[in-house]
Amino acid sequence: MQQRVLNVGETFPTFEKTAVVSLEKGKEFQTLNSSYIKNDDNVWTVMFWWPKDFTFVCPTEIAEFNKHMTDFNARETRLIGASTDSEFVHLAWRNNHDDLRGLQFPMLADTSKSLAEELGILEPKEKVAYRATFIIDPQGIIRWVSVYDLNVGRNVKEVLRVLDALQTDELCPCNWEKGQATLS
C-alpha cells in the first residue's frame, strides 16, 4: 500500500544514506544525513528524485539542474539528486555519461527505498521513485512538493522561480518572478 506523499509544512524525514560526490578515486562516496538539510547556516535544500539511472529522460533533468548550479548557489541552496539505485550504479552512470561527469551535487543512493517510501514517492509497481522535487527550508520543513509521472521531465526554471518566491517570505502573485513586486 502506497503511503501518502509528505506535504508542505511537514518535517523532512530523518535519513542517513550514501551519495556519490566525486569521480576522484578514493573520494567518490560520502554519507549524507538529515543535518545536511536541517542546518543553522540558513541554507535551503532542493532534493529531486528520478526513477532509474541509465534511462533517457533522467539525464536530461540531472544535467539541467547541474547547468543551474550557480543559480542555486546564489540562492544559498544545496542540491541533492536521488534515486533508488545504488551508489555504485550512480558512479558508473556518472563515469559513462558525458552530461553527468561534471555534476556539482551529490547523487543520493536510497537502495533500501526507505526514504522514497517515507516520502510517499515510491511507485507501487516498479518500486522506483516518481520524479519528485522537494524544496526544504533550513529548519527541515518542506515548503514545496512537486511529483511527476515516470515519463515526464520537470522544469528546473520553475523550481528556481518557486524557490525565489518562497525565499521572499512575502505574498507572490501568479507568474511572479524574481525582481517583480510582491503583494505585501
The residue extents of the domains of the chain are 16-154
Answer yes or no: is pLDDT of 103 > 80: yes
> Could you give the CA distance from residue 62 to residue 126 in angstroms, rounded to a whole number?
21
Answer yes or no: is pLDDT of 95 > 60: yes
Q: Read off φ and ψ for residue 67, nearest 5 degrees.
A: -60, -25
- The rounded mean pLDDT for the chain is 92
DSSP structure string for 40-63: SS--EEEEEE-S-SS-SHHHHHHH
* CATH topology classification for 16-154: Glutaredoxin (3.40.30)
Q: Tell me 78's DSSP state.
A: E
Higher pLDDT, 80 or 96: 80
Question: What pLDDT does residue 26 have?
Answer: 82
Higher pLDDT, 14 or 102: 14
Answer yes or no: is pLDDT of 1 > 50: no
Q: Which of 58, 132, 159, 165 is labelled catalytic?
A: 58
Question: What pLDDT does residue 100 have?
Answer: 85
Q: Which of 41, 44, 47 is nearest to 13 (CA)?
A: 47
Clarify whether 58 is annotated catalytic.
yes
pLDDT in tens, 20-68: 997 778 888 999 999 989 988 899 999 999 999 888 888 889 999 999 9
Answer yes or no: is pLDDT of 125 > 70: yes
